[in-house]
Structure 1
Amino acid sequence: MTTTLTRAPEALPVPRDPRAPYRAGSWAVIVAVLVLLHLMAFSATEFSPGKLVTGAQGMTNFLAEAIPPDLSPDVVRAGIDGAMTTLWIGLLGTTISVPFALLLAVLGARTTSPNAVVYQVARGILSFFRAVPDIVFALIFVTAVGLGPFAGVLALIAHNTGVMGKLWSEAMEDVDPGPEQALRTAGASRWQVVANATIPTVLPQLTGLLLYRFDVNVRSSLVLGLVGAGGIGLLINKAIKTFQFDEMLTYLIIILVVIVAVDLASAWIRKRLQ
């Protein structure tokens, strides 16, 4: 019986990637540019960890004056009232912006916009509302309607319309085209397709984004209070200016509890929507 021996195939050399040197050079340039940008940023912002070390004594004195927090009934009651006002600002700033954001999202999504002109106009409006920070809107509305939470609500409505409209329009562009095509084939109009196919399909995603924006807006309403737009931020600003740091710490603890509660409630709702 004759046994035939087969030779193992010789390993072929792995061909060199001709683009490897180019890729290495590109990464080297990217790293060099990033390092240069960071050096420029450190210089422009006067970034100095040494200043933080030398200022440790000031921070220690600040904490010594803030701890323990002032838990007197008047301060706690004022903090709770301010925190609830902050919560209401975030709530109204989110919900009242829904119809405006939804309309601009429909007009600003490629799959639902009537034509290119309307699409570009809607995207431009969304970009403007999104580009202007809510605190700038607050300063504008404070000069228009005066100090108070109403200016904060208007500021959040304007800014949230831009942000939420952009997020919603992108969600509509990523929707499964099957139901939309079926309705178009059946002779449905553009708005019938949007109302009966597009929005119902992405409704859970839109709701999740809405809850996320509510979380963000409650935090933003705290900052808006620092410029006179009402809420607990106004109390924090007043406490800092009058060097009542123990009151400031009380207000921070109260708003922390509110924000944690909002986070937990939003997470619970999002979980039920999945």
Structure 2
Amino acid sequence: MTATLATAPEQPVERLPVPPRPRRTAGLAGAAVLVLVLVGVHVWAWIATDFSIGALVEGWSGITDFLGDAIPPDLDWAEVVQPGLKACGVTLAIGLMGTTLSIPTSLVLAVLGARPTSRNPVAYQVARAVMSFFRAVPDIVFALIFVTAVGLGPFAGVLAIICHNTGIMAKLWSESMEEIETGPIDALRIAGASSPQLAAHVVLPSVVPQLVGLLLYRFDVNVRSSLVLGLVGAGGIGFLINQSISLFAFDQMLTYILMVLVLVVVVDVASGYVRRRLAE
């Protein structure tokens, strides 16, 4: 016995109107204005900085004369190499001490300047203002100030690194604290936990790897900064570079620059290795 299935009549397919493509006139006009503004700003910067390809070409002979006086480097052990190695050690020590001694103040400012751990709006704004001040003042300006206060030498460089690094590291640490999940924080806050308890039991344990990684990165940067601080009398290899330039001993200067290159590479490789081990 066969059953006959009734088929419903086919319904005509209704064609919907195609929506018109959105006009991009406004977007193109905004992009054109942005390009014109960028071009205008760069033209102004070109003029303000006296940027000149012709001046560079004309001064190329001076560069070749300078390189001719600097090459080959002076490798005299007693007069150049040994003092340079000691100065590299001082430069490394300035960066290390400046980074380490800035940790307590950076941590306090980061806790007070992060929203998950700071309930008082006044303390939050004050902490952010202190961070901004220490970041805004260059480390070389701090070095000039401390040189007049404590005299020439690496101690002024350490103080300069502490001040400038406190603002930068506190800013980076506070941003890391603000990126964590807020669920555990809200739960403890409802239970009556104070801000120090939230920081000690939730926030800081969650961001320890990030804080250590940023600390190592800043140590790498501070070692390079301590080189520049030596140019203004804060000790280290930068002081010897400045001295050799003043005496027109460019071959000695090249030796010191090569030492700096080796020092920077060693510090960069060592800090990168530690950061990779922490990330594993």
TM-score tier by shorter-chain length is: over 0.9
Equivalents in 1 of 2:146, 2:210: separation in Å? 31
Equivalents in 2 of 1:95, 1:108: separation in Å? 20
> Are positions 1:260 and 2:265 aligned together?
yes
Matches within 5 A, 1:15-26: 15-18=20-23, 20-26=24-30
Equivalents in 1 of 2:86, 2:13: separation in Å? 82
> Are positions 1:199 and 2:198 aligned together?
no
Residue in structure 2 matched with residue 216 of structure 1 by the alignment: 221
Give CA-to-partner distance per residue, 1:159-205, whole Å, 9 cap, x none. 00000000111111111123323433444322111111100100100
> Are positions 1:71 and 2:75 aligned together?
yes
Residue number among 88, 95, 99 corresponding to 1:94 in the alignment: 99
SS of 1:229's partner is coil
Residue in structure 1 matched with residue 277 of structure 2 by the alignment: 272
Matches within 5 A, 1:66-145: 66-74=70-78, 75-145=80-150
Give CA-to-partner distance per residue, 1:129-174, whole Å, 9 cap, x none. 0000000000011011111000000000000000000011111111
Asked which structure has the greater CA Rg, the reply is: 2
2:116 and 2:185 in contact (8 A); partners too: no
> Are positions 1:43 and 2:66 aligned together?
no
Residue in structure 1 matched with residue 178 of structure 2 by the alignment: 173
Residue in structure 2 matched with residue 28 of structure 1 by the alignment: 32
Residues 164 and 11 of structure 1: is their aligned pair in 2 closer, same or farther, counting only changes over 3 Å?
same
Gaps of 5+ in 1: none
Gaps of 5+ in 2: 1-8
Equivalents in 1 of 2:225, 2:99: separation in Å? 11
Give CA-to-partner distance per residue, 1:209-254, whole Å, 9 cap, x none. 1111111100000000001011000000000010000100100111
Equivalents in 1 of 2:113, 2:193: separation in Å? 20
2:70 and 2:252 in contact (8 A); partners too: yes
Identity within the alignment, %: 60
Aligned residues: 270
Q: Which one-letter code corresponds to 1:241 in the other structure?
A: S
Residues 251 and 11 of structure 1: is their aligned pair in 2 closer, same or farther, counting only changes over 3 Å?
farther
> Are positions 1:54 and 2:58 aligned together?
yes
Equivalents in 2 of 1:51, 1:9: separation in Å? 73
Residue in structure 2 matched with residue 235 of structure 1 by the alignment: 240
Greater shift, 184-193 or 120-129, is seen at 184-193
Give CA-to-partner distance per residue, 1:76-119, whole Å, 9 cap, x none. 00110111100000011111000000000000111111311111
Equivalents in 2 of 1:8, 1:245: separation in Å? 86
Which 4+ stretches in 1 moved above 4 angstroms?
4-14
Q: Which one-letter code corresponds to 2:203 in the other structure?
A: T
> Are positions 1:159 and 2:173 aligned together?
no
Equivalents in 2 of 1:266, 1:178: separation in Å? 33
Q: What is the TM-score with the length of structure 1 in the denominator?
A: 0.94
Equivalents in 2 of 1:226, 1:111: separation in Å? 41
Q: What is the TM-score with the length of structure 2 in the denominator?
A: 0.92
Equivalents in 2 of 1:113, 1:185: separation in Å? 15
- In the TM superposition, what is the alpha-carbon distance from 1:5 to its structure 2 partner? 11
- In the TM superposition, what is the alpha-carbon distance from 1:22 to its structure 2 partner? 0.9
SS of 2:193's partner is coil
Equivalents in 1 of 2:195, 2:37: separation in Å? 48
Give CA-to-partner distance per residue, 1:47-102, whole Å, 9 cap, x none. 00111111111100101111111111021001101111000000111110000000
Greater shift, 119-128 or 106-115, is seen at 106-115
